[in-house]
Structure 1
Amino acid sequence: MATMKSAQTSTPGTIEVVDVERPVPGSRDVLLRVRACGICGTDVAFLHMGGGPFGPGGQMIPVPLGHEPAGEVVEVGAEVIGLKAGDRVVVNPQAAPSGIIGCGGALGGMREYLIIENAVVGKSVAVFPDGVPFAVAALNEPMAVARHCVNRSEARPADKVVVFGAGPIGLGATIWLKLRGVQHVVVADVIPQRLETALAVGADAVIDSSSEDVTTRLMELHGEGVNALGATRPDTDIYIDAAGAAAVINTATASAKWGAKLVMVAVQKKSDAIDLGAMLRSEMTLIASQGYPTEIFEVTPEIVRHQERFARLISHLVPFSEAERAFELALTPGAAEKVVVTFDDQS
């Protein structure tokens, strides 16, 4: 029996790299040699839990990790159309029949080989050209999340936008907003290095919310508007929450002009301190953004076209042989922006 290495979690705060059987593709499947896989906040959530839903006897069930893989096709089932050995592909983790890859399903992308069940180009995988590094291609899934957020905002070129949180999703949203032609995009965060990255990927201005008053700075940057009661507020059209903190929601609702939008893409931390009543003073529209109903492969050609800009989001490349260090970085607040685990050569 051929085996391979796979990363999973079954104890809170730790990962295990275990030997599992190397899969053999069926007639409708392809076998992917994983070449890079990003680490996401969802991976961190499973690490904190130490597994997935409770199994018999109340124990946590080990969860294979990783839902941001990019790799190379090595075997193709007889009934698969449009794919061949050697194709470089990105994956839709939500298309797996056995459950979402790396998010509680039977499969994880943080492994040496990944079976793509019922492989269909444009549904479960998309091919990308040789000139794109696997690590950059592995950004496809989170950038689809960021793209859906921007699509949900319906941002127009004349709009003025602030993005809270300069992690991968917030920075991805910033890139998509600027590629969409949006006039002015501000990014707010508390970590100076992240704000530098925001400027590097195209933000028009940044706010260090640990030392600056966000409302005052938005007034300086976006001019003056009014809320539903006629009180002066920043002329900001769209607030994007890619941080998930109560302080962001309260800042947005307190600062909003009449008719502004608040788009939530971050997983929200539970809090009793959120004042949604403040939305009445602006008739603010609250929009939730979840996943990527259509965007998963819509973003692929644009990531290819603008790969140097997206590459700036990666703060750490860590080999799979050091997977524990990679997840330790991801678990430590402020230690890394985007960690991508690499497998062998990155050509």
Structure 2
Amino acid sequence: MRAVAERRTEERPAATRDDALEALTELVRADLEACNRVIVARMQSPVELIPRLAAHIVAAGGKRLRPMLTLAAARLCGYRGDRHVKLAACVEFIHTATLLHDDVVDESALRRGLASANAVFGNKASVLVGDFLFSRSFELMVEDGSLPVLAILSRAAATIAEGEVLQLVTQNDTATTEARYLDVIRGKTAALFAAATRIGAVVAGRDTEDEAALEAFGMNLGLAFQLVDDVLDYDADQVKLGKAVGDDFREGKVTLPVLLAFAAGDESERAFWRRTIEDQEQGPNDLATAQGLMRRHGTLAETLRRAEAFGAAAKTALARFADCAERRALVDVVDFAVQRAR
């Protein structure tokens, strides 16, 4: 019976980007609305700047993808309580805190097409409110009362920080290996996806195999998501991207499209990458040159192929779960993540 269900799932056409996210949102709408109420309530503080700044980044229109993954994973595992609602809010607070910190580190002026919090309120306020949101996330973990959940989410928070520091270490270094770069994005992006989905199995009391399967789903989805972001930084419309195209290039970030172009280039091309990425000596036409080299060597397309491979692995990880609306929605979210660059 399970094999038949799997064949039916595989035979379904891939959902469009908008359809996939809308379907997931609709599926968990009641839980998501409850989660949003928790988020709004826990952003409050007698220190007036805290809710103002927190509301600014929340109002920027995030998709709430990570908390929706927690909500859907819990329902996929048959959970019918409400613990997952606060834990989904916890996941969103961790994510939002890291965004505030990242924008300070990256000196970003835009976040989802609007002025970033650090551009509006300053770096100090953004860092401190990010710390506040981290603290709120840990309050929610403690209120849940589960040591396994606390272990998973606190470890994810530490891993995210490790990934960000590793990115700082590898920044401007064209000698970075692909394996090293995957370590960076596994930490800074995929770890929270993995934790968000794994805790769905934990609150439902499922066995360790189901936990591991949902963790693998989230990890591979997160890797695919970040690789597509790497492509979009060089090949997207700024309005669609929500930040300035080429930010990674201007900041000297070594992402997979850069590493592949560096490896495929001749010595003059490698000299270009060393000048622009390592030495940060960039002229007005260098971004266009970088994009041209990537097109010449097909590195954007190759990065997308890697993302698709991780996406396929994410779908495979769901094979042990019976066919249901939640499983179909999660499969479609993988397609959403990859198709953002199409």
Q: Give the TM-score normalised by structure 2.
A: 0.26
**Greater C-alpha radius of gyration:** 1
Q: Whose RCO is larger (CA < 8 A, sep 6+)? A: 2
In terms of fraction of residues, the more strand-rich structure is: 1
In terms of fraction of residues, the more helix-rich structure is: 2
